[in-house]
């Protein structure tokens, strides 16, 4: 690849990689189970997990196999208790588990006006206990709990406490659950005998069935602060983290998690049949854990414990996405509108990268002017690559052109774009957030009038028209000519969040303005150089 084509080819690679990145997940969407409308009875829970290798007495291969093969059936019947706050409705079944969690806020309602229920019908439920002993485990899944309260508990004005008891042949299990109005809770488990068991925050929520390339799975934060993420389909089944601080199972916007920042938790991961991870925490005779179920909203998690905000996951680009997210939150706290927040953040990114963009675009201008001379050299030395390269370098040096000058700004834009793409796709704060209410009343949903995708295509086309290019490959040039049309159509066909498209449109507009500034600066620079050259000749 010749150096003078490198900048454009990098841009082409960025464009095509984006098409692959977002297009593949649309054409080949993951198979996601649909949550049921109402879940009072859970059936056929998954088999018991392999015993945690750190657990005394159950770390032999024979004991692990027994635990894995333990048959599990569930008791039938209606829910034991329902807990209601202003923002959620929690159903607790007769096995002492959170059978369903329903979000009551309007922004989570679907097109039919139904509230969002986040737990899958046939998946392991939060607070489910599994014993290492197969016979005891089978008995436990057939024996209902009794509760200190029945019916409905009102958590709108403050915390409510529920005590549930299960009497088994070899042990009595007592769960004391204190639930806060936010979805935070504490769970205390005590057993009358010291029997090995495991408790889970449940299978990850299944609240989003969109076809984007999203991160779904589990997140575990170790005692050293290292965060391990295991996505759906990637579980090995032998993952163990001792003294973990956070164990979270998460979907796009919501999560169910346990946490213990003082003593830590011994966490093991069970590999389900489809390769999805399922978290278990090793139990003790007297166990107390913090818990949370609900949206991964930064302010809610921070209010519970600032360290819980680490459970907000943005995938591969979290190292960059998370700082971007914090800056977006800071801007939104000042302006109070997520649409204007995105616009101001885009401007901020442009200003930070402007010095590099300026150098890169000026180099591209010089290369455009040198294109005829470069073609002459190619024709003259086409049979001698070494000589051609030497003459090219002499030409660049003479005119102060850097063929690599435009690479760094383009390379920087790639992680910036994908990191922001992850934030705008996964941040719960954008759900129900309006920009211009009469037009965009939900930045997490697609533009209902397709105005933003059309503006994106037009702005991309105009940006190309004013940007210098030095294509030598006709195929590359044709791809770039049609790329704005392809992107506009893709954003119309695929329901991309309007917040993401807004960023792209605004970024294009700022880039156009930036290009005009640089084009004018280059003209002045050329005029000044020509005047100096003329003056030098006259003298």
What are the pLDDT digits (tens) for 426-455?
Answer: 999 999 999 999 999 999 999 999 999 999
**Do 175 and 169 touch, CB atoms closer than 8 A?**
no
Question: Is residue 320 in a domain?
Answer: no
Q: Report the run of H or E that residue 228 belongs to, with start and end.
A: strand 227-231
CA dihedral 93→99→102→108, nearest 10 degrees, is -170
Is beta strand 184-191 parallel, antiparallel or unpaired with respect to 286-295? antiparallel
Give the list of residues 6+ apart from residue 479 with CB closer than 8 angstroms, or none.
12
Handedness of CA 94, 96, 100, 104 (dihedral sign): positive
E strand residue ranges, 33-183: 81-84, 88-92, 98-103, 116-117, 128-131, 146-147, 151-154, 160-167, 172-179
Instruction: Write the DSSP assignment of 150-163 as a string of letters.
Output: -EEEE-SSS-EEEE
Q: To the nearest whole number, what is the mean pLDDT of the chain?
A: 83
- Whole-number pLDDT of residue 75: 42
What mean pLDDT comes out for the span 270-294?
Answer: 96
**Token digits for 526?**
């050329």
Going by C-alpha positions, the residue among 375, 366, 372 that lies closest to residue 398 is 366
- Whole-number pLDDT of residue 20: 52
Write the CATH number for 242. Answer: 2.70.98.90
The number of domains in the chain is 2
SS (H, E, C) 308-319: HHHHCCCHHHHH
d(CA 215, CA 230): 9
* pLDDT above 70 as % of the chain: 81
Q: Is the pLDDT of residue 407 over 70?
A: no
Q: Do residues 68 and 212 share a domain? A: yes
Q: What is the largest CA-CA distance in the chain?
A: 108
Question: Is residue 82 in a domain?
Answer: yes
d(CA 407, CA 376): 24
Q: Do residues 395 and 301 share a domain? A: no
**Token digits for 244?**
């973990």
Question: Is residue 322 in a domain?
Answer: no
- Whole-number pLDDT of residue 221: 98
> Could you report the per-residue pLDDT of 112-133, keeping only the tens digit for each?
889 999 999 889 999 999 999 9
Q: Do residues 346 and 219 share a domain? A: no
- Whole-number pLDDT of residue 156: 96
Q: Is the pLDDT of residue 95 over 70?
A: yes
Q: Do residues 422 and 502 share a domain? A: yes
The residue among 170 and 525 whose pLDDT is bigger is 170
- Whole-number pLDDT of residue 13: 53
d(CA 137, CA 337): 51
Q: Do residues 272 and 356 share a domain? A: no
E strand residue ranges, 321-395: none
d(CA 276, CA 396): 55
Q: Is the pLDDT of residue 135 over 70?
A: yes
Question: Is residue 425 in a domain?
Answer: yes
- Whole-number pLDDT of residue 52: 36
What mean pLDDT comes out for the span 354-359?
Answer: 80
- Whole-number pLDDT of residue 469: 63
Q: Is the pLDDT of residue 163 over 60?
A: yes
pLDDT band for position 160 (cuts 50, 70, 90)? very high
Q: Is the pLDDT of residue 103 over 70?
A: yes
Q: Is the pLDDT of residue 535 over 90?
A: no
- Whole-number pLDDT of residue 209: 79
- Whole-number pLDDT of residue 17: 55
DSSP one-letter code for 436: B
Q: Do residues 285 and 342 share a domain? A: no
Q: Do residues 347 and 274 share a domain? A: no
Q: Is the pLDDT of residue 157 over 80?
A: yes
Look at residues 253, 284, 313 and tell me which one is the last residue of a structural domain: 313
- pTM for the full predicted model: 0.81
Q: Do residues 429 and 488 share a domain? A: yes
* pLDDT above 90 as % of the chain: 54
pLDDT band for position 361 (cuts 50, 70, 90)? confident
d(CA 272, CA 47): 9
Is beta strand 172-179 parallel, antiparallel or unpaired with respect to 184-191? antiparallel
Going by C-alpha positions, the residue among 401, 375, 436 that lies closest to residue 522 is 401
The residue among 111 and 93 whose pLDDT is bigger is 93
**Distance, first Cα to last Cα, the chain:** 44
Q: Do residues 277 and 342 share a domain? A: no
Question: Is residue 33 in a domain?
Answer: no
The residue among 372 and 539 whose pLDDT is bigger is 372
What mean pLDDT comes out for the span 155-165?
Answer: 97
Segments forming the whole domain that contains residue 391? 332-530
Handedness of CA 206, 207, 213, 219 (dihedral sign): negative
Question: Is residue 189 in a domain?
Answer: yes
Q: Do residues 338 and 289 share a domain? A: no
Question: Is residue 18 in a domain?
Answer: no
Q: Is the pLDDT of residue 357 over 60?
A: yes
Handedness of CA 478, 479, 480, 484 (dihedral sign): positive
Question: Is residue 12 in a domain?
Answer: no
Look at residues 256, 278, 313 and tell me which one is the last residue of a structural domain: 313
- Whole-number pLDDT of residue 376: 86
What mean pLDDT comes out for the span 273-298?
Answer: 96
The residue among 42 and 187 whose pLDDT is bigger is 187
> Could you report the per-residue pLDDT of 19-28, keeping only the tens digit for each?
555 554 444 4
- Whole-number pLDDT of residue 11: 53
Q: Do residues 385 and 526 share a domain? A: yes
pLDDT band for position 297 (cuts 50, 70, 90)? very high
- Whole-number pLDDT of residue 341: 97
Q: Is the pLDDT of residue 502 over 90?
A: yes
- Whole-number pLDDT of residue 12: 53
pLDDT band for position 379 (cuts 50, 70, 90)? confident
Helices 6-27 and 407-426: crossing angle, nearest 10°? 20
Handedness of CA 138, 143, 145, 151 (dihedral sign): positive
- Whole-number pLDDT of residue 44: 36
The residue among 93 and 398 whose pLDDT is bigger is 93
pLDDT band for position 140 (cuts 50, 70, 90)? very high
> Could you report the per-residue pLDDT of 227-268, keeping only the tens digit for each?
999 999 999 999 999 999 999 999 999 999 999 999 999 999
pLDDT band for position 406 (cuts 50, 70, 90)? low
- Whole-number pLDDT of residue 410: 65
Look at residues 255, 285, 313 and tell me which one is the last residue of a structural domain: 313
Q: Do residues 261 and 407 share a domain? A: no
């Amino acid at each position: 690849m010749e150096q003078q084509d490198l900048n454009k080819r990098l841009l082409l690679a960025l464009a095509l990689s984006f098409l692959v990145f977002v297009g593949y997940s649309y054409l080949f969407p993951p198979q996601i189970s649909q949550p049921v409308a109402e879940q009072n009875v859970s059936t056929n829970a998954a088999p018991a997990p392999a015993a945690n290798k750190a657990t005394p007495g159950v770390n032999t291969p024979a004991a692990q196999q027994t635990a894995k093969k333990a048959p599990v059936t569930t008791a039938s019947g209606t829910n034991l208790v329902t807990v209601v706050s202003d923002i959620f409705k929690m159903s607790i079944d007769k096995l002492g588990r959170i059978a369903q969690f329903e979000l009551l806020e309007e922004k989570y309602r679907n097109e039919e006006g139904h509230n969002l229920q986040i737990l899958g019908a046939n998946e392991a439920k939060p607070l489910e206990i599994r014993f290492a002993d197969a016979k005891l485990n089978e008995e436990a899944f057939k024996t209902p709990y009794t509760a200190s309260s029945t019916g409905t508990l009102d958590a709108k004005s403050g915390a409510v406490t529920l005590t549930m008891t299960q009497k088994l042949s070899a042990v009595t299990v007592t769960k004391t659950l204190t639930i806060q109005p936010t979805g935070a809770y504490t769970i205390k488990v005590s057993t009358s005998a010291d029997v090995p068991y495991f408790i889970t925050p449940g299978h990850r929520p299944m609240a989003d069935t969109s076809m984007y390339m999203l991160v779904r799975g589990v997140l575990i934060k170790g005692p050293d602060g290292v965060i391990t993420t295991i996505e759906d389909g990637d579980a090995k089944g032998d993952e163990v983290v001792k003294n973990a601080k956070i164990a979270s199972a998460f979907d796009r916007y919501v999560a169910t998690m346990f946490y213990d920042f003082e003593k830590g938790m011994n966490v093991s991961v069970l590999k389900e049949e489809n390769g999805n991870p399922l978290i278990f925490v090793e139990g003790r005779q007297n166990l107390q854990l913090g818990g949370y179920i609900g949206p991964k909203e930064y302010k809610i998690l921070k209010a519970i414990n600032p360290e819980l905000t680490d459970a907000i996951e943005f995938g591969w680009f979290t190292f960059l996405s998370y700082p971007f997210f914090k800056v977006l939150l800071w801007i939104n706290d000042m302006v109070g509108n997520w649409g204007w927040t995105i616009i101001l953040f885009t401007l901020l990114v442009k200003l930070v990268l402007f010095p590099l963009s300026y150098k890169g675009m000026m180099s591209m201008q010089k290369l455009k002017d040198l294109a005829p001379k470069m073609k002459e050299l190619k024709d003259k030395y086409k049979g001698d690559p070494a000589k051609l390269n030497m003459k090219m370098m002499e030409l660049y040096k003479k005119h102060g052109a850097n063929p690599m000058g435009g690479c760094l700004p383009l390379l920087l834009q790639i992680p910036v774009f994908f990191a922001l793409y992850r934030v705008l796709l996964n941040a719960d704060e954008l759900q129900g957030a309006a920009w211009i209410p009469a037009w965009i009343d939900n930045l997490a949903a697609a533009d209902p009038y397709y105005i933003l995708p059309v503006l994106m295509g037009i702005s991309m086309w105009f940006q190309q028209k004013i940007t210098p290019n030095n294509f030598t490959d006709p195929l590359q040039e044709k791809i770039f000519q049609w790329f704005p049309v392809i992107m506009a159509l893709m954003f119309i066909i695929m329901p991309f969040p309007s917040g993401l498209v807004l960023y792209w449109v605004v970024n294009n507009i700022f880039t156009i303005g930036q290009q005009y500034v640089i084009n004018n600066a280059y003209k002045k620079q050329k005029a000044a150089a020509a005047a100096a050259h003329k003056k030098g000749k006259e003298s």
